[in-house]
Structure 1
Amino acid sequence: MNASVSKPAVQSAVQSVAQGGAASAKTAMIPAATIPAATMAAGQPAGRYELSQHARRGAITLMALAAFVAGLAAAMWLASFFLYASLRVNPFHAGMWGWFDAARAWYAGGLPKEGRRIAGSALFGLLLAYGAPGAAAYVLWGPSGRRHLYGSARFASEAEIRAAGLL
């Protein structure tokens, strides 16, 4: 029986075994065409390239998680700040857990008429903590008001035709 295995896959498996490592099923199935030429030219095994890709994805995931946690901490502080300000208490004394304590007190029945205020401050804190960085990024890197050189063709208005002296 003739097994049809592509030549690059066999080469990567043979290279891995020749360098002293055992060829895993995953390493043997990666065609050499998907591995960058610089990695193959440097003599690095295919497994090392896979490891760097996994490390990169892991680092990106950790950065996204850290940004989410930092945004959540900022949202908690802002919610506490706005809740204390709406209650006419010095908002700089709110601290990090002021909103959380007020929400627990409302749930336990200690603040029966403050539910809207608590929910509103939480919503405003979340919008400010997560929306403001997104809006700032849009303002900095978003589309500008100027016309593009290519791909923005349109018909001229009558005022533009008259200004050009064509009418």
Structure 2
Amino acid sequence: MKASMPNPAGQSVVQPGVQGRATSATTAMMMPAERSESQSPGRHELWYHARRGAITLMVVAVFVAGLAAAMWFASFFLYASLRVNPLHAGMWGWFDAARAWCAGGLPKEGRRIAGSALFGLLLGYGAPGAAAYALWGPSGRRHLYGSARFASEAEIRAAGLL
């Protein structure tokens, strides 16, 4: 009879245990596997999920920060295109103009609103991405593959071929 199957008669079935000790089937099912005292069960899983949660929160925070920057830049560009001081645009200037355009208050300004939104998104999300690529992207070193060229005479002499 296996230790994982319950005994229908309720009798204790003796099985060989760890390190020569005899344990019953009911005791073997209730006792956890032998583990070191320093590592509790589930500790690794807890850190795994906490790390995943922290990464998710960071991604959401970066997305929200990019969206806030894009909204401000869109308002800035919209006010500048309307020849109004763009520093007075604030965060919700573009959103208010888009709502007014939808309600029919700014019938001829749809292209400016769309263009300023495009510039705002490009600057809010594209500029940090381009800066990250410039900082951590590929450097000016030679590639392992795809950068074939003819050897110079000095390189041929250094290799001992001449």
TM-score (norm 2): 0.71
How far apart are residue 152 of structure 1 and its match?
3.8
Per-residue Cα deviation, 1:14-62 (whole angstroms, up to 9, x for no partner)? 9xx658xxxxxxxx9xxx9xxxxxxx65622231211111111111111
| Among candidates 83, 101, 105, match of residue 106 of structure 1 | 101
Unaligned runs of 5+ residues in structure 1 are 5-13, 20-27, 33-39
- Aligned position for 2:46: 51
Cα distance in 2, alignment partners of residues 156 and 77 from structure 1: 49
Distance 1:56 1:109, change over 3 A: same
Alignment of 1:118-157 (within 5 A): 118-148=113-143, 151-152=144-145, 155-157=148-150
**Pairwise CA RMSD:** 3.0
Q: Secondary structure at the match of 1:156?
A: coil
Per-residue Cα deviation, 1:110-142 (whole angstroms, up to 9, x for no partner)? 000000000010011011100111100111110
How far apart are residue 89 of structure 1 and its match?
0.4
Alignment of 1:1-20 (within 5 A): 2=2
Residue 110 of structure 2 aligns to which amino acid in structure 1? G
Q: Secondary structure at the match of 2:42?
A: helix
Distance 1:42 1:77, change over 3 A: farther
| Among candidates 74, 78, 87, match of residue 73 of structure 2 | 78
Percent identity of the aligned residues?
73
Distance 1:50 1:121, change over 3 A: same
| Among candidates 79, 85, 88, match of residue 83 of structure 2 | 88
Alignment of 1:19-34 (within 5 A): none
Residue 43 of structure 1 aligns to which amino acid in structure 2? S
Distance 1:131 1:155, change over 3 A: closer
Number of residue equivalences: 135
Residue 66 of structure 1 aligns to which amino acid in structure 2? A
- Indicate the structure with greater helix content: 1
Distance 1:111 1:154, change over 3 A: closer
Distance 1:44 1:163, change over 3 A: closer
Unaligned runs of 5+ residues in structure 2 are 5-26
Structure of higher CA gyration radius = 2
TM-score (norm 1): 0.69
